A and B are shown apart, each in its own frame.
Chain A
């Protein structure tokens, strides 16, 4: 066991845990930030996606030992009022079904629209194809991402 300082959503947290513990479980079990979901444990479903210094990463694949000096943002910290353009667009397009995978999708999409202000469907497909939604909300997700991107472009 070692002590780690985790910087999450702009706050510092001291976590006393194994150095090989994935960030996912630190977020969920120690910080009780349960918006980040467990899906596969091997980085192939995207449900656990968070931002590491602004880049989308799979938190189930990041051991605590690799978190030093990094800034993490989870779905709970994506916006102060729950009004990030992706969150708003997700509601307008009524994307979520069971909703379990959606936090991971939104974190991925939020990073995409910063990198590509006018993503095409092909860009969206390429960027989100590491994620799984068993409810099949893909079509609405494309619409929501285009909508969110256009909101950002206008502001």
Chain B
């Protein structure tokens, strides 16, 4: 599955398989006096400073720590000896993937980094053995030294630098067996925590290049609109404002105001008079689009079938009980607290960029293309990322800064305001799901038909006409995830997808395609269980029997692993002991589960109460059980569970972006509400440890949140809400 379905997210043409090519650096690097650099990831100097290069962007998922842990494990160094460095595209990292996406930071580096560490370790051991004139097999690396076991002689890595650099790079260094791991699997605090809590950590917005000016833009609020005319007279009179110029690159075009400092640019922008050409989408309305999707689902039979097991049509005809429901998912913004920004310094024949980005390779290649420079002449510094969530897989905010810097001949910081960020970026697509299910006379589920409609497949730009005609391409992508890879054992199962584009620029949001499909799937399973008079958790367990491996497309889903996490969730949440209602509140539990990209299994049980009169919703506790194979940093994984659940709850209880008249309505956190601490539940994370290769966990926590909460609300109130966000108003309207 990985090679096709998520090719754009997870793998890269140059991913880890060609490691040895990456490892063999020009001799000149290894010959540098006093440095041992067996590969791009590691450098050791005579003074025992061990530098590890991190080949992903740090955006909160903890890669500075996790990736360093994998290197340190095989290298056999003391954790306190390590310094980490952020990799950058090109140079020593040419051919090594730096893109950060698809929950793939651990999955995508696990083998390569361990091999890189083991390579260095074997060369250091060989250098010591050579020095002592003993067999390498009689030496061990431990805590930054090589020890000769028989005699106890010891040399530090620093002392072995010159000798190690002369050794042959081993083709197949021996990796440690998991039972010998000392670092992997140990809960470790963030390696970069101190810089964050002291205010020294440098995010994109904090970069200051000498002589830099500050820019903001008046951006066209209409999707696909343009500048018609502008009058800069007043804005130019604002003290500190230096330049006013139209900007045509990027996504949300407009007029840039460049000033000596941010406030002047903001004031200049406020006084700038711009007339917009709203463009062809000025009539776009997201509520209308939702009903359009619903209508098309009802009318069109020409969805593309991504699954067709058994004979769903006949099974539906013969089912003793049939039920159906429609679920709606609104547009969503990413709204990271650090808004989009970029510093660009365009010089003659070169360019330097500082960007909080998840896609540094794209930043480099697109900037090079834009400026007509060779890629090597574009230096891209990856800063800390103040929240990525998929938004920063787009580099649209980079060319704007480049365009302005080129025009004014100075380094410039382009900053998006919160309103720009909320209204003018990329969004999670709105989506409608329709499911029909059938039970036999004994209440056993026999058929499942899930239909999805939306612009899911325009994650990276809109599907081309060719793609739309050749629906086979959709199958190769395995979309829509969550419906396509439905893990349950229905004898008759059909899933199809109707692509329907809106003009809204859409892209990956945390968990990409899973949130809408899994909200519908796991809610409807609950509906079926109740219709069958069965316990929703037991109902799921039965549907996963016989616990075999499901093969769908390229994916192999081991149902026994999903059964296990559900069982643990049942136990840890005291599922069999229902919550009692209180005087003014109704209480209930709900369960949901999912398999993220075949290798990460998760079950969640939510405990919710709803005010009898007020209808307010409180999520008190979420028990989260996961099996994603070997866990590199359990403390990090726990944090990602808490994080994914918070993200999911924001969308479940609050988040949505409406479009009216072709423009986004919500502008800031006062009208696009997100979860705050007073609504944050107690999250209990339980890790089922298995020896499967590591699965990704950055997004895994998100999809089960909405359905587990919706199911808990149903358990509490008997009310089924099928559209997000779930609000007191919607609950009240059900009566």
The residue in chain B whose Cβ has the minimal distance to the Cβ of A124 is B677
Given contacts A18-B263, A34-B205, A136-B647, whether A97 and B60 have CB atoms under 8 Å apart is yes
B198–A99 touching, CB < 8 Å: no
B263–A99 touching, CB < 8 Å: no
B62–A97 touching, CB < 8 Å: yes
A residues less than 8 Å from B385 (CB atoms): 98
Give which listed residue, A39, A87, A137, A140, contacts B198 with CB less than 8 A: A87
- Give the distance in Å from the alpha carbon of A41 to the alpha carbon of B388 in the complex: 20
- Give the distance in Å from the alpha carbon of A132 to the alpha carbon of B635 in the complex: 22
B199–A42 touching, CB < 8 Å: no
B206–A98 touching, CB < 8 Å: no
> Among B61, B199, B418, B644, which residue has the most Cβ atoms of chain A within 10 A?
B199
Q: How far is the CB of B424 from chain A (nearest CB, A)?
A: 15
The residue in chain B whose Cβ has the minimal distance to the Cβ of A32 is B208
A103 within 8 A of B: yes
The residue in chain A whose Cβ has the minimal distance to the Cβ of B65 is A94
A56 within 8 A of B: no
The residue in chain A whose Cβ has the minimal distance to the Cβ of B419 is A41
A residues less than 8 Å from B198 (CB atoms): 35, 75-76, 78, 82, 87
A25 within 8 A of B: yes
Residues 354 to 412 of chain B near chain A (Cβ within 8 Å): 384-389
B577 within 8 A of A: no
Q: How far is the CB of B413 from chain A (nearest CB, A)?
A: 10
A129–B676 touching, CB < 8 Å: yes
A residues less than 8 Å from B240 (CB atoms): 18
B387–A140 touching, CB < 8 Å: no
The residue in chain A whose Cβ has the minimal distance to the Cβ of B193 is A91
Give which listed residue, A18, A91, A128, contacts B239 with CB less than 8 A: A18
- Give the distance in Å from the alpha carbon of A140 to the alpha carbon of B201 in the complex: 20
A22–B677 touching, CB < 8 Å: no
- Give the distance in Å from the alpha carbon of A21 to the alpha carbon of B384 in the complex: 27
A59 within 8 A of B: no
Q: How far is the CB of A148 from chain B (nearest CB, A)?
A: 11
Give which listed residue, B61, B267, B668, contacts A40 with CB less than 8 A: B668
Q: How far is the CB of A18 from chain B (nearest CB, A)?
A: 7
Q: How far is the CB of B157 from chain A (nearest CB, A)?
A: 27
B674 within 8 A of A: yes
Give which listed residue, B262, B417, B645, B668, contacts A136 with CB less than 8 A: B645
Given contacts A74-B199, A98-B59, A140-B642, whether A129 and B337 have CB atoms under 8 Å apart is no
- Give the distance in Å from the alpha carbon of A75 to the alpha carbon of B198 in the complex: 6
B residues less than 8 Å from A22 (CB atoms): 263
The residue in chain A whose Cβ has the minimal distance to the Cβ of B643 is A136
The residue in chain A whose Cβ has the minimal distance to the Cβ of B61 is A97
A134 within 8 A of B: yes
A97–B680 touching, CB < 8 Å: no
B642–A139 touching, CB < 8 Å: yes
B418–A100 touching, CB < 8 Å: no
* Per-position binary interface string of chain A over residues 1-41, scored 1 when its CB falls under 8 Å from any chain B CB and 0 otherwise: 10000000000000001101110010011101111111111
B109 within 8 A of A: no
A44–B60 touching, CB < 8 Å: no
> Among B61, B337, B387, B682, which residue has the most Cβ atoms of chain A within 10 A?
B337
> Among B214, B239, B335, B643, which residue has the most Cβ atoms of chain A within 10 A?
B643
A44–B267 touching, CB < 8 Å: no
- Give the distance in Å from the alpha carbon of A17 to the alpha carbon of B189 in the complex: 42
A99–B201 touching, CB < 8 Å: yes
The residue in chain B whose Cβ has the minimal distance to the Cβ of A88 is B197
B51 within 8 A of A: no
Q: How far is the CB of A34 from chain B (nearest CB, A)?
A: 4
- For the complex, count residues of A whose C-beta is within 8 A of B: 63
- Give the distance in Å from the alpha carbon of A142 to the alpha carbon of B389 in the complex: 24
Given contacts A18-B267, A39-B337, whether A44 and B675 have CB atoms under 8 Å apart is no
B residues less than 8 Å from A94 (CB atoms): 189-190, 193, 635, 639
B646–A91 touching, CB < 8 Å: no
B680–A98 touching, CB < 8 Å: no
A96 within 8 A of B: yes
Give which listed residue, A32, A78, A135, contacts B387 with CB less than 8 A: A135
Q: How far is the CB of A77 from chain B (nearest CB, A)?
A: 9
- Give the distance in Å from the alpha carbon of A128 to the alpha carbon of B682 in the complex: 16
- Give the distance in Å from the alpha carbon of A17 to the alpha carbon of B262 in the complex: 11
Give which listed residue, B60, B645, B646, B670, contacts A99 with CB less than 8 A: B60
Q: How far is the CB of A11 from chain B (nearest CB, A)?
A: 15
A37–B193 touching, CB < 8 Å: no
Q: How far is the CB of A15 from chain B (nearest CB, A)?
A: 10
> Among A20, A36, A98, A138, which residue has the most Cβ atoms of chain B within 10 A?
A98
The residue in chain B whose Cβ has the minimal distance to the Cβ of A145 is B677
B418–A98 touching, CB < 8 Å: no
Q: How far is the CB of A96 from chain B (nearest CB, A)?
A: 4
- Give the distance in Å from the alpha carbon of A22 to the alpha carbon of B417 in the complex: 15
The residue in chain B whose Cβ has the minimal distance to the Cβ of A34 is B206
A137–B643 touching, CB < 8 Å: yes
B338 within 8 A of A: yes
Residues 632 to 652 of chain B near chain A (Cβ within 8 Å): 635, 639, 642-647, 650
- Give the distance in Å from the alpha carbon of A134 to the alpha carbon of B674 in the complex: 8
Given A28-B206, A74-B199, 11 more pairs with CB closer than 8 A:
A18-B264, A37-B386, A39-B337, A45-B337, A76-B198, A92-B189, A98-B59, A98-B338, A100-B337, A102-B196, A135-B643
A-B contact pairs, 20 of them (CB 8 A): A18-B239, A20-B267, A29-B261, A34-B199, A40-B418, A42-B418, A45-B669, A74-B199, A82-B197, A90-B193, A96-B197, A98-B60, A98-B336, A125-B680, A134-B335, A135-B60, A136-B675, A138-B646, A138-B676, A142-B677
Closest 7 pairs (CB-CB, A-B): A35-B199, A136-B646, A100-B386, A98-B60, A97-B60, A75-B199, A99-B196
Chain B interface residues (CB < 8 Å from chain A):
58-62, 189-190, 192-194, 196-203, 205-206, 208, 214, 239-240, 261-264, 267, 335-339, 384-389, 415, 417-418, 635, 639, 642-647, 650, 668-670, 674-678, 680, 682-683
